[in-house]
Amino acid sequence: MTSRPLALLVNPLLCGHHEAAWRTERAQPERIHSLDYFQQLARTAERGRFDAVFMADFFIFNPAVMYSPRWEVEPVTLLSAVAQATENLGFIATGSAIFSDPVEIARVFSTFDHATGGRAAWNIVTSGEPAAGANYGLDKPIPHAERYELGARNTEQVLAYWDGAPVPDDVAPIARPVQGRPVLVQAGSSATGRDFAARFAELVFSAQWNFEAGRDFRNDLRRRAVTHGRNPDDVRLILGLSFVIGSTEAEARSKKKALDDLILPHASHSWLQSFGIDLTAFDFDEPLPRTLGNIDLYEGIKSRFSVISSLVDSTSPLTIRQLASALAGSRGHHLVIGTPEQIADAAETWFLGGATDGFMVMPHELPAEFELFVDEVIPILRRRGLVDRDYRGHTLRENLGLPISPSAPSWAFQT
């Protein structure tokens, strides 16, 4: 066993991360509106000794609803209910440090931590989508740097409330979280976002599709943590891991091609538009234009724009269809198509090589591909001593080996 095990999280996105997953015979789109479906996925994650389940929230109308089944729910409420079907699994929900008042965030996530018995985490977002700002009454997007400045001030206030700072006179007292503070999570990958993450976050999500980029990102994140007076080991990089599993590599590639053949062009165009890349004027089989857009003029999620541009520069897809196939399912995250051993090999190489501290598993298809991962990849990782066989405790902090917050109540970590 390594000194610290590989962290494993899963993002159970409806029918799967591949945009055409809902169109396969194996899909269960009729179940994605049921609590039982997500509880089943959570139980599968706990059977695989995953550390946590993650659900995002973007605070906007998702145009993908026009092209595929969706269930856009508020994650804290859903995950609080899902948690009741598990005992040790952690739960990560998104909360905006821009649009939500610090008192609201502090109360909601303190309650979330109590509802899960100390297994909660706050995914701190600075809400870069222009449409989200409009939904909250803004005439124009908040500039990138200003969003992070505001997010930092509000995050500091939330932490102060959890640590016992007095709340305004007309506000109900905030119950101290079971863990002192829920685990703090963030996904910024721009220079400003990295600095924010190094200052506050304990888990940092990122999309890095090749080993060298992951290693460089992690080293930079650790350096920045030191400049903020933190132990770099307390800041863990979690990279997305997208995969297709087959008994042979040929079978896995056949599964990927079958999914890609089901892609709807207008759905791919819509997803690219959400990151400032508008290719709707081009036919799906036309040559890819030289320039995807101007990142300096885009006030949304700049990091994903950069990942897509980097992938295009390195893989040179010839048409928009080829770009869509390259991004479908992985969305710019590391993609492995192969046998369980090949997927375990990739995870081991990245982890032991210092390119990541863990993975956010992003199955192309749910629930089938996730069950394959738990049944066939996890046993290999266990035999190699890369992951724990059992949970280390009952709280998310204990299971991740993260420091206990000094404001945690004395009874929180007693067994």
Residue ranges of the binding site for FMN: 57, 94, 144, 148, 189-190
Sequence-separated contacts (24+) of 348-351 with Cβ below 8 Å? 348/381, 348/384, 348/386, 349/211, 350/211, 350/214, 350/239, 351/2, 351/6, 351/386
User: 3-state class of 28 per DSSP?
Assistant: coil
User: 3-state class of 61 per DSSP?
Assistant: coil
Q: Cα separation of 328 and 68, whole Å? A: 14
Q: Cα separation of 377 and 44, whole Å? A: 13
Residue numbers in the known binding site are: 57, 94, 144, 148, 189-190
A 10 A CB-CB count for 411 gives 7
b (16+ CB within 10 A) / e for 223-260: ebbeeeebeeeebbbbbbbbbbbbeeeeebeebbeebb
> How far, in Å, are 142, 222, 259, 378 from residue 244 at the CA level?
38, 31, 10, 15
Residue 77 makes CB contacts below 8 A (sequence gap 6+) with none
Looking at residue 28, its amino acid is Q
Tokens 């950069």 -> residue: 306
Copy the structure tokens of residue 330.
Answer: 């992985």
